Amino acid sequence: MPSKPSLSISHAALAEGLLPAVLAAGRTQLRYFRSGTAVAIKADRTPVTAADQESETILSAALTAVAPGVPVVAEEAAAAGETPVLDTSGSGAFFLVDPLDGTREFIAGRTEFTINIALVSNQTPRFGLIYAPALSQLFVTLDDERAFAAKLDVSAPARGLGDLAGRTIRSRAPESDGLVAVASRSHRTPGTDAFLGQYRIKDRKSAGSSLKFCLLAKGEADIYPRVGPTSEWDTAAGHAILTSAGGSVTLLDGAPLLYGKQSQKFRNPDFVAWGRAPLPPSF
């Protein structure tokens, strides 16, 4: 049985150790975003570009340096069949990396693409970092109960979180006159609409990539259902940030969304992200 790696480094120290690589990956992405890049289609029929691949190389190397011995499951390596063997009990720590979440947004010239890095322990995301280089937006967990958002230009020197002009973010309690729902811009499905039809929805917002989780974490929306395929690297960082901000993520039946499903190729079941606790239908 594989060993059970753990990581004692604090959220802030981990984030600061990764910032230089995150900014370097962001600069790589913006270079391709502005100049254009060829698009290939992977076996799962999702697109990939040189920006995805080069960013993953940068981020994986940084994680190996910052947290040696902790396995890294990264999207493009996984697509090539290259994943570490994880602790079969699910209790060991490992990283999940989506080097460029929202590749369709990126290809279409929209700015809502992100870098996602999460640390999973006991099948639950504990640390999350999301960086949107084209929007200069950084979101990161400071501990299990604190999430932080800041402006961070991709050309800024790598520095400590304390040097950034940011703020602690919190999700919000739902208002009695209805919910604000978030839906995917590129992946809206009839199943998503059917789920939302059970609730009083007063407004809807569309967003790309993992920024949907961040809208809930900032208290700007209440519910984000995803009825359709996703992978663990798509959701883990946003899951950690939302949980630290006071929200939750569950399956459609209310069970927790768990991670480390290697036998299922790290695919997620349908899920719902909530601004706070799950709500009963008709709320």
Query: Each residue of 88-104: pLDDT tens digit?
Result: 787 899 999 999 999 98
Q: Ranked by mean pLDDT, which of 91-95, 135-139, 156-160, 162-166 comes out on top?
A: 135-139
96 and 57, same structural domain? yes
Q: Is residue 4 part of a domain?
A: no
SS3 per residue for 113-170:
CEEEEEEEECCEEEEEEEEECCCCEEEEEEECCEEEEEECCCCCCCCCHHHCCEEEEC
Q: Is residue 55 part of a domain?
A: yes
239 and 201, same structural domain? yes
Q: Is residue 1 part of a domain?
A: no
27 and 149, same structural domain? yes
pLDDT tens for each residue of 226-236: 999 999 999 99
148 and 190, same structural domain? no
268 and 209, same structural domain? yes
162 and 33, same structural domain? yes
Strands 114-121 and 124-132: antiparallel
265 and 211, same structural domain? yes
pTM for the whole structure:
0.95
164 and 190, same structural domain? no
230 and 151, same structural domain? no
Q: Is residue 31 part of a domain?
A: yes
Instruction: Judge whether residue 206 has pLDDT over 70.
Output: yes
88 and 48, same structural domain? yes
Q: Is residue 42 part of a domain?
A: yes
Q: Is residue 102 part of a domain?
A: yes
Residues 6+ apart with CB under 8 A from 101: 113, 114, 115, 116, 209, 210, 233, 234
CATH number assigned to the domain comprising residue 94 = 3.30.540.10
CATH number assigned to the domain comprising residue 210 = 3.40.190.80
Q: Is residue 116 part of a domain?
A: yes
159 and 189, same structural domain? no
User: Phi first, then psi: what are they for 94, rounded to 5°?
Assistant: -155, 155
* Residue that is last in its domain, among 151, 169, 187: 169
Q: Is residue 39 part of a domain?
A: yes
192 and 165, same structural domain? no
Which range marks the domain in which residue 268 is found?
179-274
Within 13 Å of residue 116, how many CA atoms lie on the same side as its CB? 32
In angstroms, the CA 110 to CA 191 distance is 25
Number of domains comprising the chain: 2
pLDDT of res. 134: 97
pLDDT tens for each residue of 17-72: 999 999 999 999 999 999 988 888 888 888 888 999 999 999 999 999 999 999 99
